[in-house]
Amino acid sequence: MDIFYLIIGLIALIVGGEFLVKGAIALAIRMNVSMVVIGLTVVSFATSAPELIVSVYAALNGHPDIALGNVIGSNIANISLVLGLTTFMFPLTFEKRLYRFDVPVMLLASILFVVFLYTNSGLDFWEGFCFVFLLIVFITYLISKSRKEVQVYEESSSEFVSLPKLMFLLSVGALSLYFGTQWLVGGATGIARLVGVSERVISVSVVAFGTSVPELAASMIAAFKKEKGLSVGNLIGSNLFNILAVMGFTSMIYPVTVVDMGILTNDVWWMLGLVLLLFPLMFLFSQKRIGRIEGFVLFVLYLVYIFLLF
């Protein structure tokens, strides 16, 4: 049964990613905002919903390492696995704002996350409140800035769809991602526990991989459709939402405490190091482009991380 759930979970996530990307493109056209902003907000929120559900559920049921490991492992997977595979398959160009604003904001959020964790070996209500407040400021700034800029869309990229169809696309996409994630995580976790590994290792590897599949599906589909701003924006936004929204709301609902010190001594440093690595990778081999070489490097780093875990 675990293998069955694993398979149908993957299928649901692929379908959900397709619907979500179509809906996001249509929403960008209706709102006259850039694909990067839609990727950083709407798509990121939808693809981060599995992390939010898993983390809140885990914290309330006395599994704080799963709540933390899920977010940290997902952020690691988003940058190394998802961005690595996506750029290896479809090299991505990016706007200046990616390294001038988006990635620096993600870096600052990651640093703040690490500082809060080290301060009291966990997150309390007020630290969570700080994350949520920063998230609201970030989204407000993005939308207000984007609306001031004139957006030009090619007719071939997407048609102007009706509001009911738009809501249908986004709803089906989000629901498919939700149920697909539940099936995938349930099946994968069931298989992993048979080999007797810790909750932290399960959460930063199997569970994090499962909750990162929506980002992988959405980014791959967006890149294939040549909506590269949406593809990159989804990953940066997802990492921000994982920290600011998922950890913010989770710790406001129920304080999260580190149990396995491997989270502080190993996992958070991998997460922070990969964010820092993005800066040289964006300029090392080619300007304003993350190509196959960079994608391969990121993917190999993910394999190294998983290998060292086990």
Q: Which two tokens stand for residue 170?
A: 């986004």
What is the per-residue pLDDT for 59? 86
- Count structural domains, the chain: 1
| pLDDT on residue 160 | 64
CATH number at residue 253: 1.20.1420.30
Which residues does 71 contact at the CB level (< 8 Å), separation at least 6? 51, 55, 208, 242, 243, 246, 247
pTM: 0.82
Q: What is the pLDDT of residue 157?
A: 45
Mean pLDDT to the nearest integer, 252-280? 93
Q: Are strands 289-290 and 122-123 parallel, antiparallel or unpaired?
A: unpaired
Query: Which of 108-117, 137-146, 189-198 has the weakest average pLDDT?
Result: 189-198
**Cα 98 from chain centroid (whole Å):** 16
User: How many angstroms separate the CA atoms of 81 and 240, rounded?
Assistant: 17
- Indicate whether 156 pLDDT > 50: no
Contacts of residue 164, Cβ cutoff 8 Å, sequence gap at least 6: none
Per the model's pLDDT, the better-predicted residue between 213 and 124 turns out to be 124
For residue 179, the enclosing domain spans: 2-309
Q: Token match 């080619």: residue?
A: 286
pLDDT at 148: 62
46-72 residue pLDDT tens: 767 777 878 888 888 888 888 899 899
